[in-house]
Structure 1
Amino acid sequence: MKTLPFSEEKLREIIAQYPTPFHLYDEAGIRDTARRLYDAFAWNRGFKEYFAVKALPNPAILKLLGSMDCGTDCATIPELLLSKAAGLTGEDILFSSNDTPGEDFALAHKLGAIINLDDITHIPLLESVCGIPETICCRYNPGSTFTMTNCIMGDLSDTKFGMTKPQLFEAMKLLRDKGAKRFGVHALLVSCSMEQDYYPQLAASLFRLAVELKNETGISLSFIDLSGGIGIPYHPNEAKVDIAAVGRGVQKVYDEILKPAGIELSIYTELGRFMTGPHGYLVSRVLHEKHTYKDYLGLDACAANLMRPAIYGAYHHITVMGKEQQPADHTYDVTGGLCENNDKFAVDRALPKTVPGDLVVIHDTGAHGSSMGYNYNGKLRSAELLLKQDGSVALIRRAETPQDYFATLDCCPEFDLSETETE
């Protein structure tokens, strides 16, 4: 049974000030998850979580996580600027990009971020725009030798990310020769894994790589970045990944592989979905009920607010507020208003009898929800709110307006839409 950190009464109080649809994030839940992660890896001196900004790119959330000693994992200039706006600079930022423009490297270097190189051919570009920093990281792709994959990432030999082992070793030697002194290796090999063994298996693979790298090149790694990949239970009957057990599993292979080799290094993670996913909710209202060949509930939200069900067929649990105890004896497709037939939050979903005006809450939208929003059909992205620990609510991103949608037409004065009527 999925639960909510707010009551129907509290939600109606919020809606009286902020109209639906909106994403609502639970500060207490986010803080609790951060504490549990750090407790799980407390055995590792230097452990640090670099929150994947792409999951929830809002400076209020980044600042919240920063207060829990989390850094940020960035891939673009706007994500770097969001981190800076949240007060994060220096090695609190890890810049992990691919097919990277030179100006992105330049800003990352200016902010003092740890730069993670996706390919050996990026070394000359990095050197030309900002020089080789003393601390550097390289992304590793082991190909089909790592067998724990899933349908999101697929066969690692087919993914565009990372270097082969020979390329990685060559890159490390080249970077050392160009002045780098502190080295790290990064790998993201699956997405949304519910396998408790994923991190321990990945860590074991990278720890063995670290030993081989030291023996072959004399380079000792300072850190290994396990990146993200840990999933969350979207379905009500799924168990959470036990992060404490994951931490113990990584510690076990650390002691077995690295300690005998005399290697001591820090563990980094770049979790996004795990950190904030379960603590976000898309709040919407039923606009229409339609009965043709199927029964439909049309919401005031659409795939522009939450794309995952439309592109992945992903499951997101739905609560009809005030009807939690009623039998789920009706079957609906829950849809938005886009001119696309895949604009559906649920297909053949069993719910209580639901009517126009009912409030619905779509669970687990705290990662890759609002961040994947878009403006197809002229749909406008919704507001983001933060439910604070004291029960108050803060607006952390306002809803878009038609004027926002037209703002980039300021290069065409013949299309002056600044005074466009919206009512």
Structure 2
Amino acid sequence: MPMTQGFKDRLYPHLPAIAAHFGTPFHIYDEAGIRETGRQLKAAFADIPVFLEYYAVKALPNPSVLALMRDMGFGFDCSSTTELMLARSLGAAGNDIMFTSNNTSPEDFQVAAAEGGCILNLDDITLIDKVPTMPELICFRYNPGSRRRGNDIIGKPEEAKYGVSHNQIIDAYRQAKARGAKRFGLHTMLASNELHYTYMVQTAAMLIELVENISAELGISFEFINIGGGLGIPYLPDIEPLNIEAMGEEITALFVDFKDRHGYCPALMMESGRFMTGPHGVLVVRAINRKDIYRTYIGVDACMSALMRPALYGAYHHIEVLGKEGSGPTETVDVVGSLCENNDKFAVQRTLPKIADGDILIIQDTGAHGHAMGFNYNGKMRPQELLLRQDGSVALIRREEQPEDYFATLKFEEKVLRL
């Protein structure tokens, strides 16, 4: 969706000075907006005795942003050993971290168990015997198959590589219990960028019913239910945002009812990434070229190595031209980068104010899965990241990549296997 007015008010008046000082391109993130969304999320579930948000590190793996999450009392959802290292570098340990990997290697398990461990969320029943030492607390990721629909990004659950199937789930807990697990959680992740809050309510209801069935079969109780991530943001203008208040109210009612029937209330967990930071980041670029052939192309000083969602998904990211919002002549253009790929486009046939070389463009909603999904095809370097702090200052929180970074992995000791 278009940036909040608050973010604009904090950023736009100072953007020429920021661009002049740091140079373009850059992603810049809004601390005030991130903290406000965190407040809204906690308020929505305040009536559940224990609510825990585990920020999805993959969405924006920058330590300065992760430090904001930690300051708000959030944990971290990690899916690789590098993400575990990031979370631990901020002091997170044990139950502060949820580790959900797939095709998990022995090395992954070793790192997961180190430095105070984490909550281990197993993705496959075959992994039970591969865990070197079964932790006291264990969780499984559940895949309901055709019992639930997915959405366009994740797809049909029965076609997804993730999770333990419905027919395996009770046996998974039975096997884990036999190996020494004494405490249990249940997790699922069925949708991505979901804007219909009722889908998430239905997911919570599904997991509560499953908890009741497993508990009845095995005589165990559950410490938490994790409904996953997938809370959406409206990238397109005029799309209604997710109703987090209604979602909180209806899920809370489900947990209250569970407590009334069973005498205890599991913690509610979720792992929102995009919802927490997506709307609070923008990619700021400068127009450097104009090409008029069969179409008009506006070339900018970033390419899809800085934001690949439009190329990968055909995703829409709203664009504004600084100083030209809502006034003056318009034209229909493609906004493009410099990669040798024809899908290196931030916008296709988009109506924008008439753009001249040197104009600053603000590509919006890049605060999740933007810089994080970057790459180095064509030897392109990923841009710097900035943080617009609550006190109005702007800090560099990741420098732009340099050619020496690109060539760093070509410096190594000779290693040859002679056959």
Indicate which of 22, 41, 53 corresponds to 2:26: 22
Contact 1:211 1:258 in 2 (8 A): no
SS in structure 2 of the partner of residue 73 of structure 1: strand
Query: How many correspondences in the alignment?
Result: 409
What amino acid is the match of 1:260? R
The equivalent residue for 1:100 is 104
What amino acid is the match of 2:219? G
SS in structure 2 of the partner of residue 219 of structure 1: coil
Query: What is the rounded CA distance, in whole Å, between the counterparts of 1:282 and 1:373 in structure 2?
Result: 13
Indicate which of 82, 85, 88 corresponds to 1:84: 88
Query: What is the rounded CA distance, in whole Å, between the counterparts of 1:164 and 1:257 in structure 2?
Result: 24
Query: What is the rounded CA distance, in whole Å, between the counterparts of 1:327 and 1:146 in structure 2?
Result: 48
What is the CA deviation profile of residues 66-98 of structure 1, one whole-angstrom value per residue up to 9, with x for unaligned ones?
A: 000011000111101111112211211110100
Indicate which of 36, 39, 46 corresponds to 1:35: 39
The equivalent residue for 1:64 is 68
Deviation at 1:261, TM superposition (A): 3.4
1:47 partnered with 2:69 = no
Query: What is the rounded CA distance, in whole Å, between the counterparts of 1:9 and 1:256 in structure 2?
Result: 50
TM-score by length of 2: 0.95
The equivalent residue for 1:119 is 124
SS in structure 2 of the partner of residue 362 of structure 1: strand
1:211-360 pair list within 5 angstroms? 211-257=212-258, 259-327=260-328, 329-360=330-361
Indicate which of 138, 145, 156 corresponds to 2:147: 145
Query: What is the rounded CA distance, in whole Å, between the counterparts of 1:257 and 1:328 in structure 2?
Result: 59
SS in structure 2 of the partner of residue 238 of structure 1: coil
| Residues 368/328 of structure 1: CA separation in 2 closer, same or farther (3 Å cut) | farther
What is the CA deviation profile of residues 222-252 of structure 1, one whole-angstrom value per residue up to 9, with x for unaligned ones?
A: 1011110111011121121121111111112
Deviation at 1:28, TM superposition (A): 0.4
Deviation at 1:7, TM superposition (A): 4.2
SS in structure 1 of the partner of residue 401 of structure 2: coil
SS in structure 2 of the partner of residue 81 of structure 1: helix
Query: What is the rounded CA distance, in whole Å, between the counterparts of 1:5 and 1:157 in structure 2?
Result: 45
Deviation at 1:412, TM superposition (A): 6.8
The equivalent residue for 1:189 is 190
SS in structure 2 of the partner of residue 121 of structure 1: helix
| Residues 96/362 of structure 1: CA separation in 2 closer, same or farther (3 Å cut) | same
Contact 2:145 2:166 in 1 (8 A): no
Query: What is the rounded CA distance, in whole Å, between the counterparts of 1:161 and 1:145 in structure 2?
Result: 15
TM-score by length of 1: 0.94
What amino acid is the match of 2:251? V
Query: What is the rounded CA distance, in whole Å, between the counterparts of 1:406 and 1:394 in structure 2?
Result: 27
What amino acid is the match of 1:80? L
Contact 2:283 2:366 in 1 (8 A): yes
Query: What is the rounded CA distance, in whole Å, between the counterparts of 1:258 and 1:187 in structure 2?
Result: 21
SS in structure 1 of the partner of residue 332 of structure 2: strand
Give the % identical residues: 50
SS in structure 2 of the partner of residue 406 of structure 1: helix
Query: What is the rounded CA distance, in whole Å, between the counterparts of 2:86 and 2:102 in structure 1?
Result: 19
Query: What is the rounded CA distance, in whole Å, between the counterparts of 1:190 and 1:395 in structure 2?
Result: 33
What amino acid is the match of 2:104? T
What amino acid is the match of 1:247? G
Contact 1:302 1:335 in 2 (8 A): yes
Deviation at 1:257, TM superposition (A): 4.5
Contact 2:48 2:255 in 1 (8 A): no
The equivalent residue for 1:417 is none
What amino acid is the match of 1:20? T
Query: What is the rounded CA distance, in whole Å, between the counterparts of 1:295 and 1:120 in structure 2?
Result: 54
Deviation at 1:325, TM superposition (A): 2.9
Deviation at 1:266, TM superposition (A): 0.3
What amino acid is the match of 2:42? Y
Query: What is the rounded CA distance, in whole Å, between the counterparts of 1:317 and 1:159 in structure 2?
Result: 30
What amino acid is the match of 2:120? I
Contact 2:322 2:361 in 1 (8 A): yes
**Runs of at least 4 residues off by over 6 Å:** none
The equivalent residue for 2:410 is 409
SS in structure 1 of the partner of residue 58 of structure 2: helix
Query: What is the rounded CA distance, in whole Å, between the counterparts of 1:286 and 1:364 in structure 2?
Result: 19
SS in structure 1 of the partner of residue 125 of structure 2: coil
What amino acid is the match of 2:50? G
The RMSD of aligned alpha carbons is: 1.3
Deviation at 1:5, TM superposition (A): 4.5
Query: What is the rounded CA distance, in whole Å, between the counterparts of 1:69 and 1:208 in structure 2?
Result: 29
1:135 partnered with 2:137 = yes
Query: What is the rounded CA distance, in whole Å, between the counterparts of 2:29 and 2:89 in structure 1?
Result: 19
Query: What is the rounded CA distance, in whole Å, between the counterparts of 1:40 and 1:220 in structure 2?
Result: 25
Contact 1:383 1:397 in 2 (8 A): yes
Query: What is the rounded CA distance, in whole Å, between the counterparts of 2:350 and 2:413 in structure 1?
Result: 46
Deviation at 1:259, TM superposition (A): 3.0
